[in-house]
Amino acid sequence: MSPSSSSWRALVLVAAVLSVVSFSGHVLAAGHPDYADALAKSILFFQGQRSGRLPPDQAVKWRSNSGLSDGSPANVDLTGGYYDGGDNVKFGFPMAFTTTMLSWGVVEYGGRMRGRVLRDARDAVRWAADYLLRAATATPGVLYVGVGDPDADHRCWERPEDMDTPRTVYSVSASSPGSDVAAETAAALAAAAADPGYSRRLLAAARDVMAFAVRHQGKYSDHVGGDVGAYYASYSGYQDELLWGSAWLLWATRDASYLDYLASLGANDGVDMFSWDNKLAGARVLLSRRALVNGDRRLDAFRRQAEDFVCRILPASPSSTTQYTPGGMMYKSGHANLQYVTSASFLLTTFAKYMAVSNHTFSCQSLPITAKTLRALARKQVDYILGANPQGMSYMVGYGARFPQRIHHRGASMPSVAAHPAHIGCQEGFSGYFNAGGANPNVHTGAVVGGPDQHDAFPDERGDYDRSEPTTYTNAALVGCLAYFAGSYKS
């Protein structure tokens, strides 16, 4: 039977509405990824990175207690916190940045999170903030900045539950300063103080650590043991952290003395990236909130610098200094490139939010820029991560029909303690699991890997840590972006 013209048109219309381009198996009828699902998974990832005694409601069951004696060489309690990537070391510098970015995501976009997702996000912040608070207050005049010898750790492939490498404790003090790690820790504590449960304690510690960073200036990689310093040396120096820490303390306390200090720093370099190492762009966007939303013209210089950052990364901008792959991914580095993609995308959505609230626009030379311009680029980057790319692969583990199977991650690549209770030794891990060709036995749900190269290629090899290792700071910046888009594109 031939359908009538009206019913046929109706069927065609319904088909058009329901049709999707399926790039990862998690695309909704409106033609966009399932941002809410990706958001929940991106937060769940942090449970798989936990160190210490796990809580009764731990959802990632292939992880067990680990690092229960951390801090004992210094007679302090440094249990808890996060392993930053696929190894078993706790680096305070990237952990603090992770905490700041997770907190910022909750501050800006917590209203778009719902129920369990918001609780899990706050729990993820608090798991790190509790550790950083202990690290900052355990010994007067000392900030503990790392646990575990990274050289020894990297010579082993073992589960965190089995690790028997030295749990060396690293710290900074007046005689061995570390303004970069101290100011970042101050930023993290101040940002996490949005949690009303213990904001007073966090802010008191943040003020003290920031004062230490200013009073005893120096790079921690110049003073902390070379093992830790070499892995997270602050190549950008520490002026950016002083700006970042002061910006967060100004936000959290509204103390005008931080505003005066910000003006004195003179950290005016132009930048086209934002990361655990270089905080200038992030500080400028945060300060733009007060300039645009609150109309504080004393911070207009930072707002203009934030706009300069945007002009350096927009692909159509005459002043762009940012490379993009043929598939449209922002490309900054051959090592864990997606960390730069997620952090820049967070700044784009957040600055767009401030622009929209204040009806603000600007230009990159002759190119007019609106909030919509920034959101469009951020969404393209997020969609690329979730599967809208030449490989048709989601770079978030556990999201979509096709995702990395052999991520560079000790715990994920080896059987859980429940499945294999016997100890697995340092070198046994290499021969039995690292060099195995199959998929990891544990799906590290929500983990975002380092990502493809400048040609959009991704080999999915366990030994390729540049592309296959997930990190907490990559996920931390993505959480806020996903919350924004989940709230904008509801199913």
Sign of CA dihedral 409, 414, 416, 417: negative
Strand residue runs (E) in 92-193: 142-147, 169-173
Which of helix, strand or coil describes residue 367? strand
Smallest CA-to-CA distance from 259 within 296, 215, 222 is with 296
Is residue 151 classed exposed, middle or buried when 0-12, 13-18 and 19+ CB atoms within 10 A define those classes? middle
Q: Determine how β-strand 142-147 pairs with β-strand 362-364.
A: unpaired
In the chain, the amino acid numbered 484 is: Y
| pLDDT tens sequence across 329-354 | 999 999 999 999 999 999 999 999 99
Contacts 24+ apart (CB under 8 A), 253-256: 253/190, 253/203, 253/207
CB neighbour list of residue 349: distance below 8 Å, 6 or more residues apart = 374, 375, 378, 480, 481, 484, 485
164 among known catalytic residues:
no
Q: Which CATH architecture group holds 35-486? A: Alpha/alpha barrel (1.50)
Pick the catalytic residue: 460, 461, 464, 466?
460
422 — phi, psi (to 5°)? -70, 145
9 — phi, psi (to 5°)? -60, -40
Cα separation, 25 vs 3, whole angstroms? 32
Q: How many CB atoms lie under 10 A from the CB of residue 423? A: 12
Cα separation, 409 vs 159, whole angstroms? 9
Smallest CA-to-CA distance from 258 within 292, 217, 299 is with 299
First CA to last CA across the chain, in angstroms?
35
360 among known catalytic residues:
no
Structure tokens at 145: 């900045």
Contact 361, 355 (CB under 8 A): yes
Q: How many CB atoms lie under 10 A from the CB of residue 145? A: 28
Is residue 21 classed exposed, middle or buried when 0-12, 13-18 and 19+ CB atoms within 10 A define those classes? exposed
Contacts 24+ apart (CB under 8 A), 122-125: 122/195, 124/43, 124/46, 124/47, 125/99, 125/192, 125/195
State the pLDDT at residue 124.
Answer: 98
420 among known catalytic residues:
no
State the pLDDT at residue 26.
Answer: 65
All structural domains of the chain with their residue ranges: 35-486
Pick the catalytic residue: 162, 307, 456, 469?
469
Using the structure block, give the residue that is written with the tokens 């891990």: 429
Q: Which helix (H) or strand (E) holds 344?
A: helix 338-358
Cα separation, 283 vs 97, whole angstroms? 12
Integer-rounded Cα radius of gyration of the chain: 23
24 — phi, psi (to 5°)? -145, 5
Helix axes 92-109, 338-358, angle to 10 degrees: 30
Q: Which residues pair with 27 in a beta bridge?
A: 33
Pick the catalytic residue: 26, 32, 408, 444?
408
What pTM does this model have?
Answer: 0.93
Task: Extract the residue ranges of the chain whose pLDDT is less than 50.
Answer: 1-25, 29, 491
Structure tokens at 326: 């043929």
Cα separation, 237 vs 211, whole angstroms? 18
In the chain, the amino acid numbered 219 is: K
